[in-house]
Structure 1
Amino acid sequence: MKKMITALAACAALSAALSAVAAPAQAATKDPVSALKAQLVPGHGVRFTETVAWSNGTEESEIQDRKGVFQFDKKGVAAFDINIHWDDDTYGRQRAVGVGNITYHTGGVMPMVLPEGKTWYKVKSYGVPDSYGQILNPAEPKTLAALIKHGKSTKNSITGTITFKDLKQASAWWAGAKAPSSFDSTKVSYTLTLTSGGLVSRVQSKFTATEAGRQAMIAVDSRYSGWGAKVSVKAPDPAKVTTDFR
């Protein structure tokens, strides 16, 4: 009996030791920033879809549907490819492709303003390609850390508010949009939904901006899938690219 008790005690001690070792590792996989960094492998990325709604207080409508992909390097986003569809076809379909610190635009009004034979307009910029895209980029570790800092975390979500100024300091994606400093105090409310592994599966954001005495609220609902999948984003054919207008 004494030997059995001793053996059971040893098994209990071993089990406790293994649990102590396993617990931190399990917790680490649920930390969103650590989970994201584990996905940052060159040539891999994440896909997303999103809807954009606009409201002026009396009218509200869904104005855009988007789908795209982020391609990673070891630090975050190295390239992106976003297709934009306007629901009322005012601007038809647009596309923005970013590689490094260069973004290429096509569609929309481009056919009317670009020289003959050119279909892509090239600009030196990285970040939100227009005024209505998702300004919170969950594929940037510093951005994700800032959203966690400014938010309240539960088991599978993070909800909070961050100003344009604070977001600009954390996010290259938003800083690249070069929003005027007069909008720095604008507050963005957000909810991030997490998978069981700590990766972001959804980002809901909204903010109200005032310009020329008029207010408008932009709400973007983005869903992310295929974290870590192989992706490839390439710049357009140089023969079709220009930096000039007609």
Structure 2
Amino acid sequence: MRRWAIPVAAALAASALQAGPAQAGVVRAQAVRAGTAQAAPSPVTALERHFTEHTGLRVSDVGRMYRDGKAVVTIWRKGRVEFDASGVYATDTTGRTEAGRGAVREFEHLIGRRLGSTRVICFPNEAYLSGPGYETWLPEGKSWLGLIGPANIKQTAAFPQIVNVFEPATLGTLLSRAAVRKKLASGTYHQGAVTLRTLYAVSPSFRDRLAGPPKGKDAKITVGFRLWLDRSNLPRRLTTTWKQPVPGTPKRPTVTVADTRYTGWGAEVVLTPPPPEDTADAGRVGGDLSPPPTLPVG
């Protein structure tokens, strides 16, 4: 579509040279609008154009799970994402999980220093973890725990965000389910909802989180979303909200809210594994080692 922008704008500008001053101003304005309208590709196309080796962006998000109106779990995460020709190739994120809302940060302020966070570096078939909770599994002199598993990269690319906008099909589904669309000075705003059944059908990373497709009432659970796109039609913010019933107390579901920001699209990103001499193979640390429960947190 872009290849038509220059000829159309040029033709309008040329006609302006043959018109009077007032008419020329109108024609020039039309030329600018024509070029601008053709400049931005569709959101899915804009995303796929960034699927280039060593290209990426930064992400930061916070997710909170509420029960009876109070936050019971809070997750913070920030880091970088690297693409290749097929999509997300690698992620390097630092994050932490705490009970409640803000208790850890208040304690850090009180003692005058920051507590440790978990860092996760993921590639298609391997992940490396470092931080509180992993030291007891590491031999002396090692600071990284290495894990093998193709699902690692897909999970950490989205968590704590349940919706992965780095998947073209998932992004396209959100846009098609938007009930509200608004133009903004900074881009566009889209608001709507999608069921877990639909999300499972279109999102590979969401399928990797579950043992099987959601069934019955679970399949009908809706994920409300608000998506902001920039002027280039690339995601710059996504918030999602969804309720999950709690066994035994169906009238007191948990409510999860995730807010993710995307910045620096098109930046050069080259992620590398930690040095081998600092890494311990999880398969050799101990026979009773199970995957850490915080693996998807990043």
* Fold shared by both chains (TM-score > 0.5): yes
* Contiguous gaps of at least 5 residues in structure 2: 1-17, 105-114, 287-298
> Of 279, 282, 292, which residue of structure 2 is paired with 1:243?
282
Distance 2:195 2:40 in 1: 29
Say which structure is richer in helix: 2
- The aligned amino acid for 2:66 is S
> Of 207, 210, 225, which residue of structure 2 is paired with 1:190?
225
Say yes or no: does 1:129 pair with 2:153: no
Distance 2:45 2:157 in 1: 30
> Of 75, 86, 105, which residue of structure 2 is paired with 1:75?
86
The two structures have a TM-score, normalised by structure 1, of: 0.80
- The aligned amino acid for 1:209 is Q
CA offset at residue 78 of structure 1? 0.9
1:149-164 matches, within 5 Å, as: 149-152=176-179, 153-155=181-183, 156-164=188-196
Q: CA RMSD in A?
A: 3.3
Distance 2:274 2:157 in 1: 19
SS in 2 for 1:169: helix
CA offset at residue 85 of structure 1? 2.3
Identity among equivalent positions (%) equals 24
1:19-168 matches, within 5 Å, as: 23=34, 26-27=37-38, 29=40, 31-60=42-71, 63-87=74-98, 88=103, 92-114=116-138, 117=142, 119-124=144-149, 125=151, 126-129=153-156, 133-152=160-179, 153-155=181-183, 156-168=188-200
Write the deviation string for residues 74-118 of structure 1: whole angstroms up to 9, x where unpaired.
Answer: 2321111111123555x9521222112433333242223455546
Maintained 8 Å contact 2:90/2:123: yes
Distance 1:131 1:178 in 2: 14
- The aligned amino acid for 2:128 is Y
Write the deviation string for residues 159-214 of structure 1: whole angstroms up to 9, x where unpaired.
Answer: 11112232232222322223543444332111111112211110101212234335
Distance 1:24 1:61 in 2: 50
Say yes or no: does 1:206 pair with 2:241: yes
